[in-house]
Amino acid sequence: MKQFTSCLNLTVACWVFGTALGVFGCAEQPWVNYNSVTGLAGEGVTELLVCADTTVWVIYQRDCREAPVGRYRPGVGWEVHDSSMGLPDTLDLSQLTLASDGSLWMGVAGVGLAMWDGHWRILTPDDGLISTEVWGIFATAGPDIWVVFEGESSVSRWDGERFVTYGEHDGLAAAPPEEVVESSDETIWIHYGGQPVGIARFSDGSWTVLDTTDGLLRNRVGDLTPDSRGGVWATYASTIVDTADMILNDPVGLNYVKNSNVISFTTESHLASNSVNDVFTSPQGPSWISYEENLGVHRFDDGQWTLFTTRDGLSENSVGSIAVGVDGDVWISHWERTALSRFDGEKWTQATTGALMGSPIYGLAITPGGAVWGTLQVGLGRYEDGKWMLFSSWLGLALNDIRTLQIGPDGTLWLLYGYSYCGDVGVTRSTGGV
CATH code, domain carrying 14:
2.130.10
Number of domains in the chain: 1
Residues in the chain with pLDDT < 50?
2-27
Residue 5: its pLDDT value, please?
Answer: 37
Distance CA 22, CA 173 (A): 54
Residue 19: its pLDDT value, please?
Answer: 31
Residue 235: its pLDDT value, please?
Answer: 95
What type of residue is 135?
A: W
φ, ψ dihedrals at 170, nearest 5°: -100, 0
Distance CA 373, CA 380 (A): 7
Asked whether 190 and 172 are in contact (CB, 8 A), the reply is yes
Greatest alpha-carbon pair distance for the chain in Å reads 65
User: What are residue 98's DSSP bridge partners?
Assistant: 104
Question: pTM here?
Answer: 0.87
Domain of 69, in residue numbers = 2-430
Torsion of CA 16, 17, 21, 26, to 10 degrees: -30
pLDDT in tens, 381-414: 888 888 888 888 888 899 888 988 998 888 788 9
Burial of 276 (0-12, 13-18, 19+ CB in 10 A): buried
Asked whether 331 and 341 are in contact (CB, 8 A), the reply is yes
